[in-house]
Structure 1
Amino acid sequence: MIDWKKVDTVLLDMDGTLLDLNFDNHFWKEFVPLKFAEKQGLSIQAAKLQLEPRFKSMEGKLEWYCLDYWSDVLELDIAGLKAEISGLISVLPHVTEFLGKVRRSPKKVYLVTNAHRDSLGLKMEKTCLQPFFDGIISSHDLGFPKEHAEFWRLLQQQIPFEKQTALLIDDSLTVLDSARQFGIAHLISVSKPDTRQPKKQITAYPAIEDFRELMEGL
């Protein structure tokens, strides 16, 4: 699937790529509506009907990933709520083994995420993955989400890499599209970002179900 001799920089998404997306799906689709319903005196169904279009309207924007934004508009402590159910945060199968192999290689490896710094800090604390990376970059530091072309230009200024020898692994097809337009040569998707959901059928990019598929030749 990948010729590792042609890659010297590995860019890795976090949620749905390294970490099980079940946590985020449960948080936004079930836990936040529950807490919003309690605060507003609504049924959970009514809360979901109010929240879903608000969430949808922000997809792909930096605000969608910003805990401060949602704390303000929903009048909820979003970071605190994430901490309440942080026991659900988990690393996807074979990720740690893969990261260990990359770390022992000459390649540079960076975590490149849209996650807000509060969420990022909580997840690194729970998973202990931080030592595997040469650097961790949040889109909030750069002012643009990964879906935006400007993100990649600013990222290249912060961590110089060659487009032709860079690999991005991300479960978001929109992010992969943005990276492809920027010129990143090697792009891989993830077909099972949420272990509790069926495998996705992906045709636009090569896709892995778990990281064992990438270890040969590494």
Structure 2
Amino acid sequence: MIPWHKIDTVLLDMDGTLLDLHFDNAFWMEHVPAQYAQYHGIDHFQAIELLTKKMQKKQGQLQWYCLDYWSEVTSLPIAELKRDLEHKIRFRPHVPDFLQAVKDAGKRSVIVTNAHRGSVDIKMHKTGLDALVDRIISSHDYGYAKEDQHFWQHLLDDEGFDLERSVLIDDSVPVLESAKRFGIQHLLCITQPDSQKPERRVEGYASIDHFSDVMPAAKPSVDEDN
């Protein structure tokens, strides 16, 4: 599924790929509407309806992922509220082992996420994920979401990776489509981003559920080469 002998750089989404998307879904679909309803003195279902409309207008744009933007829109301390549910932040199956295998295979691992740096910091503190990869890049660093071609151009200029010798693993089909248009050769989709929701059927892309299915082999040692 991944021709590891042709791969130098492993680009990895964070939420729904390395980390269980259940945290984010529970936060945005349950916790934020509840807090919004309480703060503004409205019905819970009214809060869901209002927030859904606001979010749909920004879907796929950088603001969709921006904690500062939603703090302003909702009048709620979004980053602080995330800590209420941080016990739900957890790795998807076999992720630490996979990242160690990528390192042992001599590949560069770079997290490319649409998550705001405020969210990234909370998740790094909870999981220690930053110690398992070479670099973490947020789309907010470049000013463009991953759905935008400008993001990939900034990433290419920044990282200097080879489009034909890189793989992107992501749970978002729109993001994979954007990366494909840009020319990234190897693409892989996650079928069950949220552990509390059914596995999805993904059309048009190779897909996996667990990282144990695509573990790279360790790079041969000098003695083995000889």
Report the TM-score when normalising by structure 1: 0.98
The one-letter amino acid paired with 2:10 is V
Distance in 2, matches of 1:187 and 1:39, equals: 43
Question: Given that residues 188 and 206 in structure 2 are in contact (C-alpha distance below 8 angstroms), is that contact kept between their aligned partners in structure 1?
Answer: yes
Q: Deviations over 1:85-135 (max 9, x none)?
A: 111111101011100111122111101100000100000110111111111
Q: Which runs of 5+ in 2 are unaligned?
A: 219-226
> Is the counterpart of residue 203 in structure 1 residue 203 in structure 2?
yes
User: CA 1:103–1:217 in 2, change beyond 3 Å: closer, same or farther?
Assistant: closer
The one-letter amino acid paired with 1:61 is Q
Distance in 2, matches of 1:9 and 1:155, equals: 12
SS of residue matched to 1:212: helix
The one-letter amino acid paired with 1:60 is G
Alignment of 1:111-122 (within 5 A): 111-122=111-122
Distance in 1, matches of 2:137 and 2:32, equals: 26
Distance in 2, matches of 1:51 and 1:95, equals: 32
Distance in 2, matches of 1:47 and 1:130, equals: 35
Q: Which runs of 5+ in 1 are unaligned?
A: none
> Is the counterpart of residue 157 in structure 1 residue 157 in structure 2?
yes
Q: What's 1:39 paired with?
A: 39
Alignment of 1:35-114 (within 5 A): 35-114=35-114
SS of residue matched to 1:161: coil
Shift of 1:216: 5.3
Q: Deviations over 1:124-168 (max 9, x none)?
A: 110111111111100000010000000000001111100000100
Aligned residue pairs: how many? 218
Question: Given that residues 3 and 217 in structure 1 are in contact (C-alpha distance below 8 angstroms), is that contact kept between their aligned partners in structure 2?
Answer: no
Distance in 1, matches of 2:75 and 2:186, equals: 41
Q: Deviations over 1:56-99 (max 9, x none)?
A: 11110000100000000100000000011111111101011100
Question: Given that residues 34 and 44 in structure 2 are in contact (C-alpha distance below 8 angstroms), is that contact kept between their aligned partners in structure 1?
Answer: yes
Alignment of 1:183-202 (within 5 A): 183-202=183-202
SS of residue matched to 1:20: coil
State the structure with more CA Rg.
Answer: 2
Distance in 1, matches of 2:206 and 2:104, equals: 25
Shift of 1:176: 0.2
The one-letter amino acid paired with 1:206 is A
Distance in 1, matches of 2:42 and 2:89, equals: 28
Distance in 2, matches of 1:3 and 1:71, equals: 43
Shift of 1:217: 4.2
Shift of 1:174: 0.3
Q: Deviations over 1:156-198 (max 9, x none)?
A: 1111100000100000000000000000000000000000000
The one-letter amino acid paired with 1:90 is R
Distance in 1, matches of 2:39 and 2:49, equals: 15
Distance in 1, matches of 2:3 and 2:217, equals: 8
The one-letter amino acid paired with 1:18 is L
Distance in 2, matches of 1:180 and 1:30, equals: 33
Question: Given that residues 163 and 184 in structure 1 are in contact (C-alpha distance below 8 angstroms), is that contact kept between their aligned partners in structure 2?
Answer: yes
Distance in 2, matches of 1:50 and 1:128, equals: 35
